[in-house]
Amino acid sequence: MVKSAATPSPVEIVSISRLFCSPITPRKYDAAVPHVAASIRRFGWQQPIVARRTGEVIAGNTRLKTAQELGMETVPVWWFDGSDLDAVAFSIADNLSHEFA
Q: What is the CATH number of the domain that holds 94?
A: 3.90.1530.10
> Which residues, 6 or more positions from 45, have their beta carbon under 8 angstroms from its beta carbon?
75, 76
Percent of the chain with pLDDT over 70: 82
Q: What is the pTM of this model?
A: 0.81
> What's the total number of domains in the chain?
1
Kindly state whether residue 4 falls inside one of the protein's structural domains: no
Q: Which 3 state secondary structure label does DSSP give 25?
A: coil
pLDDT reading at 98 higher than 70: no
Residues 29 and 27: their CA atoms lie apart, in Å, by 6
When the pLDDT of each residue in the chain is averaged and rounded to a whole number, the result is 85
Residue 42's domain comprises 11-100
Kindly state whether residue 36 falls inside one of the protein's structural domains: yes
Residue 37's nearest CA partner among 73, 11, 62 is: 62
Residue 58's nearest CA partner among 15, 32, 34, 92 is: 92
Kindly state whether residue 2 falls inside one of the protein's structural domains: no
